[in-house]
Amino acid sequence: MDFIKNIIRPIFPFTAIIGQEEMKLALLLNVIDPKIGGVMIMGDRGTGKSTTIRAIADLLPQISVVQDDPFNSHPSNYELMSNEVKSSIENGDNIIQKLINVPMVDLPLGATEDRVCGTIDIEKALTEGIKSFEPGLLAKANRGILYVDEVNLLDDHLVDILLDSAASGWNTVEREGISVRHPARFVLVGSGNPEEGELRPQLLDRFGMHAEIKTVKDPCLRVKIVEQRSKFDQDPYSCLNEYQVKQNELKKRILLAQDKLPSVVIDYALRVKISEICSELNVDGLRGDIVTNRAAKALAAYNNKDIVDVEDIKAVIKLCLRHRLRKDPLDTIDSGSKIDQVVDKILRS
């Protein structure tokens, strides 16, 4: 047991994180429904962004994959399996399954396109007639979480590739007329510090949600956070044991929400109100409407409800629309307050 403790690095428990409710909610909803489209977390340095993202990945229930498959292929869902696994199933081959932790892949800032997408060995293809593909980070992230710290400093071209894969659920690599396509369905999580530069509006819009986090001002709460972290650093295993029950309860709640999600409904009248809000705020395109509908359903499922209500919409709409508002340098109120005003006016009527 001591040997295992030495090789497995303990991760701070998600249920032990104090504050930053907006970031935690955005991550939970994306885990319940990955089609929300990921989350962009912008905030001050040292506010626990990376800690929270690693904690949510560690919290998730294990997934079943095909053994020795580099793409974490699902054993039965055709949408989540590679072409090789599909062929094996069609040929009647015996598929061996195994359980793994949900993949959590960090994308380094200096990563190249080949490192992200994978590479095709052209020489092998030409001389031996074999499609030899070296999977990249997108393959490793399939059915997991892809985390990009300082995403606002990442090359725009790479951000485009990540967002395209996250939206389509597939990654295609083409070299010299040879093409390889594999599933790449993941929750894209980006974080950054606004002082180091903003993302282009077109790229920001592609993130489903946008959470803003600020440094805690309350001295008592700051002391509590510091003590909590110190306690974990001194004896991580007793801290993990202390939160084990809460962690297990939250795991069960996420699984139940994922199962319930397809049956959750949102009334036509409320869907119209969401679109009214987006229209009044001059939100470009329809992504804002779509994401708000999805997020409200995911929250209703998380709270074990069959029908979305006004409170669900109020809880998620700022996260879904804040980054889609046109920036007006002469505006005296921030985007969050503007959304609150419009939401109160339309949802009251």
Would you name the residues annotated as active-site residues?
A: 287
Name residues whose C-beta falls within 8 Å of residue 225's C-beta, 6 or more positions apart in sequence.
18, 19, 48, 216
For the chain, how long is the longest CA-to-CA vector?
70
Q: Are 156 and 115 in contact (CB under 8 A)?
A: no
What is the SS3 assignment for the chain?
CHHHHHHCCCCCCHHHCCCCHHHHHHHHHHHHCHHHCCEEEEECCCCCHHHHHHHHHHHCCCEEEECCCCCCCCCCCHHHCCHHHHHHHHCCCCCCEEEECCCEEECCCCCCHHHHHEEECHHHHHHHCCCCEEECHHHHHCCCEEEEECHHHCCHHHHHHHHHHHHHCEEEEEECCEEEEEECCCEEEEEECHHHCCCCHHHHCCCCEEEEECCCCCHHHHHHHHHHHHHHHHCHHHHHHHCHHHHHHHHHHHHHHHHHHHHCECCHHHHHHHHHHHHHCCCCCCHHHHHHHHHHHHHHHHCCCCECCHHHHHHHHHHHHHHHCCCCCCCCCCHHHHHHHHHHHHHHC
